[in-house]
Amino acid sequence: MYKTWFDTGRNDHLGVGEFFEYIIKALYTSVLKEGNMAIDGGANQGRHTFPMAKLVGNGGLVLGFEALPDYAARLRTALAAANVSNATIVNKAIGSRIGTTEFTFVPDCAGMSGIKERQGIPETAKKNITQIQVQLTTMDAELNEFPPDRIVRFVKLDLEGGEYDALRGAEFIMRYHQPLIVFEHAFDWSTKLYGYDKESWYDLFSRTGYSLFDLFGRPFAQANWGRRDTPWYMVAAKRIDDVEFVQRTLPALIEVIYEPCAKYIKHFKQPT
């Protein structure tokens, strides 16, 4: 059904990226309910933090991670100004260990900031890149600060290549909370930047019992690694109802989303 959703040229990343953000929102809007807990890794300005908080209601909680101090402070201020009391912002990077780490801050393109300096940063922005020291934590460790009856239902990770390390630090959550997870992934670019291989990447999901899909709901086996028509976001599902949702319901949601997003997209083709 989705043979050619993604134009292999990917020349209009802004438009394509906007489409992906709409799909991500559709995912957690379909899954999150009153009283749930959600994690927003790489919260930035709170694009997903705010709607997640509304979905989980006063009885729920959104745990947002933002490594950049100024951005974390601004997001806390914005949440307070909007009277959002069920979102907690943690001013730390997330990875597979606890401590400190150097963090690449790109002032002119803050969304491209990360533990490692990623590819694709505009030349005009590179001149202002700085390395800062930030606190590093794991999702499992931060969850220990909350009552054990808090069950994580959904995780969103946009960490500019650091998603695998962050998930390595969330194996308890993956095994026992079994959230639906959507995360950025750039294949060989991510593996080289963060020093792992695709076998280790697949093994993480295999040993925690997760099935892998791309953002369009297509199963993502090792043979699909590096396919040029694959979005740079993945979906990992463990619960039977989540697997069925991704396979059966998500494609229909994408069809609904596509038309309103068409104005953003120059290099997509209609599904066939």
Q: How far is CA 66 from CA 61, 69, 224, in A?
A: 16, 8, 31
Give the C-alpha separation, 85 to 234, whole Å.
Answer: 30
What integer best gives the mean pLDDT of the chain?
88
Residue 268 lies in a domain: no
Confidence of residue 258 (pLDDT cuts 50, 70, 90): confident
Residue 9 lies in a domain: no
Please, are residues 90 and 142 in contact by the beta-carbon 8 Å criterion?
Answer: yes
Q: Tell me the pTM.
A: 0.90
Residue 257 lies in a domain: no
Residue 21 lies in a domain: no
Residue 216 lies in a domain: yes
When divided into structural domains, the chain yields a total of: 1
Give the C-alpha separation, 121 to 193, whole Å.
Answer: 14
Confidence of residue 269 (pLDDT cuts 50, 70, 90): very low
The yes-or-no verdict on residue 8 having pLDDT over 80 is no
Q: Residues of the chain with pLDDT > 70: what percent?
A: 90
Residue 230 lies in a domain: yes
Among 10-14, 216-220, 239-243, the least confident range? 10-14
Q: Give the pLDDT confidence score for residue 264 in this predicted structure.
A: 52
Confidence of residue 105 (pLDDT cuts 50, 70, 90): confident
Residue 7 lies in a domain: no
Angle of helix 250-261 relative to helix 13-31, nearest 10 degrees, comes to: 140
Q: Residue 59's domain spans which residues?
A: 35-242
Length in residues, the chain:
272
Q: Which residue type is seen at 129?
A: I
Residue 263 lies in a domain: no
CATH code assigned at 73: 3.40.50.150
Q: What is the mean pLDDT of residues 149-173?
A: 96
Using the Cα atoms of residue 148, residue 151, residue 156 and residue 161 in order, give the sign of their dihedral.
Answer: positive
Phi, psi at 100, each rounded to 5°: -130, 165
